[in-house]
Amino acid sequence: MSVKKIVKYGAISLREKSKEVHKISKKVQILVEDLYDTLYALNGVGLAAPQIGENLRVFVIDVGTDPKTMNPITFINPKILKKEGAVNSYEGCLSFPDAYTNVRRYKYVKVKALDIKGRPFILEADEGSLLARAIQHEFDHLDGILFIDHSRNRFEADKILMDKGLNPIDTKYLLDEKEMEEEIQKNPQSEEKPVD
């Protein structure tokens, strides 16, 4: 299969809601292979179908750090069953080259999805883990939500975006996460490995 070109921030398709997969066709199988080829070529942690130009509800994650610990997980038509707590997450995104900022994420998520064979599975991600944060980041892409929408400090995020030659934040997309912010401030966490 092949390494695809990443759709970059600014493209309207990154703001669209993706469609459910009705059948795991050959086309969907190729899409998943392309997602992995592109993810590994770019050394990412996760990649969602809209980022390679397919507005379908599919994403892949691999939080393994080297070939020995590879742990690819494919999510088709994912649903978040449960989300709890709040943490600071220092994130980037392959659609935003070299731009990282602090965002709010739930600490824990429980997700249901189909695998590449169409078999349902349920996954619980450990509290505050890279996997928990990556699932939320990639899931958002399917609804046209981007990590910067969760920015804890939009002025800091704007500065980082503009330093990288990217458009500043469009405030209409900023999410109101007051309760999460309060919880993060009550329990400050150390910064972890960036999610992208």
Our finding on whether 135 is near Ni ion (CB under 5 A) is no
Our finding on whether 148 is near Ni ion (CB under 5 A) is no
CA nearest to 103, candidates 144, 51, 50, 157: 157
* Residue closest to Ni ion, measured at CB: 93
Our finding on whether 7 is near Ni ion (CB under 5 A) is no
CA nearest to 195, candidates 117, 99, 79: 99
Report yes or no: 112 and 120 within 8 Å, Cβ to Cβ: yes
Our finding on whether 35 is near Ni ion (CB under 5 A) is no
Q: Tell me how far, at minimum, the Cβ of 186 lies from Ni ion, in Å.
A: 28
Which residue pairs from 159-163 have beta carbons closer than 8 angstroms and sit at least 24 positions apart in sequence?
Answer: 160/99, 160/100, 160/101, 161/96, 161/99, 163/99
Q: Tell me how far, at minimum, the Cβ of 68 lies from Ni ion, in Å.
A: 25
Q: Tell me how far, at minimum, the Cβ of 62 lies from Ni ion, in Å.
A: 14
Alpha carbons 121 and 11: distance in angstroms, whole number? 32
Residue with token string 């500065």: 159
Alpha carbons 18 and 170: distance in angstroms, whole number? 21
- Annotated active-site residue 33? The verdict is no
Interacting stretch for Ni ion, rule CB under 5 A, among 55-63, 85-93, 104-112, 117-125? Answer: 85-93
Q: Tell me how far, at minimum, the Cβ of 158 lies from Ni ion, in Å.
A: 18
Our finding on whether 145 is near Ni ion (CB under 5 A) is no
Six-digit token string for 127 = 């509290």
Per annotation, catalytic residue among 16, 91, 124, 138: 138
Q: Which of 86, 93, 135, 166 binds Ni ion (CB under 5 A)?
A: 93
Binding site for Ni ion (CB under 5 A): 93
Catalytic residues, by residue number, are: 138
